[in-house]
Chain A
Amino acid sequence: MRGAKSAKWVAIAAVVALSVTACGGGSDKGDDGGNDKGAVNPKGIVTFESGEPQNPLQPANTMESYGSDVITSIFDTLVDYEPGSGKITYTNAESITTKDSKVWTVKLKSGWKFHNGEAVTSKSYVDAWNWAANIANNQTNASWFSDIEGYADVHPEKGKAKKDAMSGLKVVDDSTFTITLSAPLAYFEYKLAYNVFAPLPSGFFKDPKGYGEKPVGNGPYEFVKWDHKKSIEVKTYAGYKGPNKPKNGGVLFKNYTGPDASYADLLSDKVDVIRQVPATSLANYKSDLGDRAVDQDYSAVQSIVPAFYTKQWKNIDNRVLQGLSMAIDRKTITDTVLQKTRTPATGWVAQGVLGFKAGAAGDVTTYNPAEAKKLIKAGGGVPGNKISIQFNADGGHGEWVEAVCGSIRKATGVECTGDSKADFQTDLKARDAHEVKSMYRGGWVLDYPFNGNFLRDLYGTGVAGNTSGYSNKAFDKLVKEADAAPTIEKSAELYQQAEKSLVDDMPSIPLWYYKVNSGYSNNVQNVKFNQAGDPILNEIEVKK
């Protein structure tokens, strides 16, 4: 998932937690339904539900969504992608070229300036990346630079940095620089869309703390002020040269204590866009908001993951896991317990990204109790005939875990219980320490719209996101081939093969894809959400 986003997970999950009643009600209307064109005030301010960012506003240091949303509005990176298709578009980059997927040449658009008037040059990028990757600066997203040659010099596993620059980054001239990777990576360009790769003005390096309080970026919005615990204000930057020119005058990121408070304000037009409708209002939000209700897919997937280091799943016959997967009635659970806020998954890659293929998991995601029983029996049964699913209680996953367990119990007779951990911190710690007893819930929101992101970063041997101890040489080999592919299309295709091969191993049981269930006020129009489930702020129009 894109960074930790723990706050967001909880918000989303809280929705699930409290939704005990069945039936969503209302019609499934597209998000564009209410975007009727009225007179627009280009200077109008959009108020967006937010919260206090956990870290200073430094691009490589924001993972959770409160900080990311602000950073995204203030900074532009080299590239961006089209919502829906996952196609790359150039933002600050004029072109990004490569012959071998290893050495990448970046040319910048001319005339771009930071909000303090300083020109955006190739040095702004190279310095920013070297600074962010340096272990001394404690940037939570530093590992994003690990593809670049020389990363180990600035970010060693132990001790201090040996150098203060990565050998893979070279400034050619003011508007050109090259990136050399330690190994070919066909889709490296996609990663560049992430906030971590934003440029920084020269003043930043002298006073990172001060700039973290008052960020100076190169994006569509300019920082105005941060009223801690209350709000963050940004306004449209007049000198903006990029493609994301705001259609409004600025954004006020207003802190809320929770989805219930923000929803109450939305109903009385005190806030314009909210992130998520609270669980208590899911049943009636479409009738409350009418055309202003949003119900849209985004690229995230939920799954349950067997802990392969346990006695239970070590050397398990894959048919057992396939059987368990087939014992889960995804359709009924998403329709009732989850109130249609999810769509049943048919593979490990979430929809809407490049290389997504519906039905990649074949029939193992189809509910079939008879077949499930047969498969489990053929595979030698579930060791101990009992499983448990670990989840964090503060994330409100309890409801669906209970439902999944009920479905498995009913279909196969395998005893299944929820294993509740007090909070996200405790849950993660148990996963890292390899203390999960049987299975745990997993989730992933895209980092970049490419299928490899859902495969390599979760199921590759030894990657940080792989906390289940899963390892498969054949899969690793396919990943390596896909990464080294000459073109991105070829790479996506090879990753599709890799995804298909997961059926033989079942490193996790995919459950469902996420949806944005949100809404907006009477004051605004043209509200759309991107693939990460965040609203596209610069497109929002404020009505006169």
Chain B
Amino acid sequence: MGRYVARRLLQMIPVFIGTTLLIFLMVYALPGDPVRAMFGDRGADAATVAALRHKYGLDQPLWKQYVDYMNGILFHFDFGDTFAGRPVSEEIGRVFPTTIRLATVAFVFELVVGVALGILAGLKAGRTADSLVLVFTLLVLSVPVFVLAFILRQVFSFNLGWVSPNVQNAENWNELILPGVVLGSLSLAYVARLTRTSIAENLRSDYMRTAVAKGLPRRRVVGVHLMRNSLIPVVTYLGTDIGALMSGAVVTEGIFNVPGVGNALYTALFRREGATIVGIVTILVLVYMLASLLIDLLYAVLDPRIRYA
């Protein structure tokens, strides 16, 4: 187990370097000059543009910029500066907590409601409840996020007046419920359908028949024997979804005005603040990698037959 974890952590190093390099190249390969854009239609003052390019290191060859950048991250925990002259690490520290809160709300929502719906449908496979859940999940899947956001906002803030249309203070958990539900709703459908299929399938398996034959109470049969085996694909999905929730919040955060990662990424892309974009995405890569490691370790808990050498 310990060796497995160590190996996984070591594997992360090339993945980390590879992904950051890719992102770095992609951002810097974009056409257009961010410094020039600060001047707009007025036209730029060549001397100032040159001086600013030098200040941000944009006049260096690309490989040198990447080496300097990685050097800063790995050895000084320095992600560079934004155009406003503030450290990118400070920006990261500002936006991630907000998005983590939002992602947590979404995650809890999709986990609780999604699994519950899945179990319901799975146990009643082929009956009315199953069909209802199917229709519901299809509906949620087919409605684009922003449409759902606008409908929910219209209903809950303009018609009912329960919540304010935008998040006024992202530190209030209850204000994050609406955007969280919107963010989590897409994955909710997947979670429900995965759970349903898995449960419906395992219901017919031998160990289930054995458990029932042993005369175990139904609560135990379903709660321990069935659930434990059925949740493996769901947990895999949920694990990768943590990363998706963190990075996929661009649309939701934009609509509900949440000052989080998505929002920061959008502004940074818009202004071509390379350092900020790469910094944020690097953290997202780390989140993905750690989440998938965590999931792999969780397998062992769910199914002891899966062993780590």
Residues of A participating in the B interface, judged by any CB pair closer than 8 Å: 1, 3-7, 9-10, 51-56, 63-64, 135-136, 138-140, 142-143, 155-158, 209, 212, 228-230, 255-258, 260-262, 264-265, 267-268, 270, 394, 422-429, 432, 442-444, 447, 457, 463-467
Contact, CB under 8 Å: A268 / B32: no
A229–B259 contact, CB under 8 A? yes
Chain B stretch 248-284: residues in CB contact (< 8 A) with chain A: 253-259, 263-264, 266-267, 270-272
Q: Of B59-67, B79-87, B110-118, which stretch is located at the interface?
A: B79-87
A residues less than 8 Å from B94 (CB atoms): 228-229
Q: In the complex, what residues of A have CB within 8 A of residue B255's CB?
A: 257, 260-261
User: Is B39 engaged at the interface, CB distance under 8 Å to the other chain?
Assistant: yes
Q: Would B166 and A143 count as touching, CB distance under 8 A? A: no
Nearest B residue to A6, CB-CB: B40
For A157, list chain B residues within 8 Å (CB).
Answer: 46-47
Residue of B30, B34, B36, B94 with highest tally of chain A CB at under 10 A: B36
Query: Could you tell me the distance between the alpha carbons of A166 and B47 in the complex, rounded to whole angstroms?
Result: 17
Interface SS of chain A: loop
A-B contact pairs, 17 of them (CB 8 A): A5-B40, A63-B42, A140-B38, A143-B45, A228-B91, A229-B259, A256-B257, A267-B158, A270-B168, A422-B30, A422-B31, A424-B40, A425-B34, A457-B42, A463-B43, A465-B42, A467-B43
A486–B77 Cα distance when bound, in Å, is 60
B residues touching A (Cβ–Cβ < 8 Å)?
A: 30-34, 36-48, 51-52, 55, 83-86, 90-91, 94-95, 153, 157-158, 164-166, 168, 253-259, 263-264, 266-267, 270-272
B80 to A: closest C-beta gap in Å = 16
Given contacts A257-B254, A261-B166, A428-B37, contact A54 B84 (CB under 8 A): yes
Q: Are B253 and A140 in contact (CB under 8 A)?
A: no
A424 contacts across to B, CB distance below 8 A: 32, 37, 40
CB-CB under 8 A from A4, the residues of chain B are 37-42
B47 adjacent to A155 (CB under 8 Å):
yes
CB-defined contacts of B45 to chain A, threshold 8 Å: 142-143, 155, 464
A55 and B153 form a contact (CB under 8 A): no
Q: Which residues of B contact A64 (CB under 8 A)?
A: 38
State whether A212 touches B37 (Cβ < 8 A). Answer: no
A52: B residues at CB distance < 8 A: 84, 267
Q: Which of B39, B270, B272 interacts with A63 by CB under 8 Å?
A: B39
Q: By the criterion CB–CB under 8 Å, are B95 and A229 in contact?
A: yes
Taking CB atoms, residues of chain A closer than 8 Å to B36 are: 425, 428-429, 432
User: Shortest distance in angstroms between B97's beta carbon and chain A's nearest beta carbon?
Assistant: 12
A429 touching B32, Cβ below 8 Å = yes
B35 to chain A, nearest CB (A): 9
A56, A138, A158, A394: most-surrounded residue (chain B CB, <10 A): A138
Asked whether, in the complex, the Cβ of A264 is within 8 Å of the Cβ of B84, the reply is: no
Contact of B165 among A228, A265, A423, A429 (CB under 8 A): A265
User: Chain B's nearest CB lies how many Å from the CB of A518?
Assistant: 18
A443 partner residues in chain B, CB cutoff 8 A: 41
- List, in ascending order, chain B residues with CB within 8 A of A265's CB: 164-166, 257
Task: Report B-chain residues with C-beta under 8 Å of the C-beta of A258.
Answer: 254
Q: Flag if B48 contacts A142 (CB, 8 Å).
A: yes
Q: Inside 8 A of B158's CB, which chain A residues have their CB?
A: 267-268
CA of A6 to CA of B158, assembled, Å:
32
Residues of A within 8 A of B263 (CB): 229, 257
Whole-angstrom distance between the Cβ of A63 and the nearest chain B Cβ: 6
Q: Do residues B166 and A3 form an inter-chain contact, with CB atoms below 8 A? A: no
B66 to A: closest C-beta gap in Å: 20
CB distance from B53 to the nearest CB of A (A): 10
CB distance from A261 to the nearest CB of B (A): 4
Q: Would you give the shortest CB distance from B30 to chain A, in whole angstroms?
A: 8
Which of A10, A212, A260 has the most B CB atoms < 10 Å from its CB? A260
Chain A residue, CB-CB nearest to B95? A229
| Cα(A432)–Cα(B40), bound, Å | 11
User: Is there contact, CB below 8 Å, between B47 and A425?
Assistant: no
CA distance A465 to B40 in the complex (A): 9
Q: Least Cβ distance of B172 to chain A in Å?
A: 13
Besides A140-B39, A229-B263, A465-B42, 16 other A-B contacts (C-beta < 8 A): A4-B40, A5-B40, A53-B84, A63-B38, A63-B39, A135-B48, A138-B55, A229-B259, A257-B255, A262-B257, A264-B153, A422-B31, A425-B33, A425-B272, A427-B32, A429-B31
In the bound complex, do residue A264 and residue B166 qualify as a contact, i.e. CB atoms below 8 Å apart?
yes
A261 vs B91: C-alpha distance when bound (angstroms): 22
Contact A143 to B48, CB < 8 A, known contacts A63-B40, A428-B40, A429-B31: yes
Contact A257 B42 (CB under 8 A): no
A3 touches B42 (CB 8 A): yes
CB distance from A196 to the nearest CB of B (A): 12
Are A54 and B38 in contact, CB atoms less than 8 angstroms apart?
yes
Of B30, B256, B257, B266, the most chain A CB neighbours within 10 A belong to B257
CA distance A259 to B248 in the complex (A): 21
Residue from B51, B254, B272 in contact with A138 in the complex, judged by beta carbons closer than 8 Å = B51
Residues from chain B with Cβ under 8 Å of A9 in the complex: 40
Residues of A within 8 A of B47 (CB): 135, 155-158
A157 to B50, CA, bound (A): 9
Shortest C-beta distance, B84 to chain A (Å), equals: 6
CB distance B85 to A56 under 8 Å? Answer: yes
> CA of A64 to CA of B263 in the docked complex: distance in angstroms?
18
Residues of A within 8 A of B270 (CB): 7, 10, 394, 423
In order of increasing CB-CB distance, the 8 nearest A-B pairs are: A425-B32, A464-B43, A4-B40, A264-B165, A426-B32, A143-B45, A261-B257, A465-B43
* Whole-angstrom distance between the Cβ of B45 and the nearest chain A Cβ: 4
Which residues on B sit within 8 Å (CB–CB) of A267? 158, 165
What CA separation (Å) do A158 and B253 show in the bound complex?
44
In Å, the complex CA distance between A243 and B157 comes to 41
Closest to B34 in A: A425
Asked if A6 and B86 sit within 8 Å, CB to CB, the answer is: no
Q: Nearest CB to that of A142 among chain B residues?
A: B48
Q: How far is the CA of A268 from the CA of B167 in the complex (A)?
A: 13
- Least CB distance from B117 to A in Å reads 30
Output the least CB separation between A79 and chain B (Å). Answer: 21
Contacts of B34 in A (CB 8 A): 425
A55 to B86, CA, bound (A): 10
**C-alpha spacing A309/B7, complex, angstroms:** 60
Residues of B within 8 A of A139 (CB): 48
Q: Which residues of A contact B41 (CB under 8 A)?
A: 1, 4, 442-444, 465
Contact B271 A268 (CB under 8 A): no
Within the complex, the shortest CB–CB distance from A262 to chain B, in Å, comes to: 8
A143 to B47, CA, bound (A): 9
From residue A349, how far is it (CB to closest CB) to chain B in Å? Answer: 15
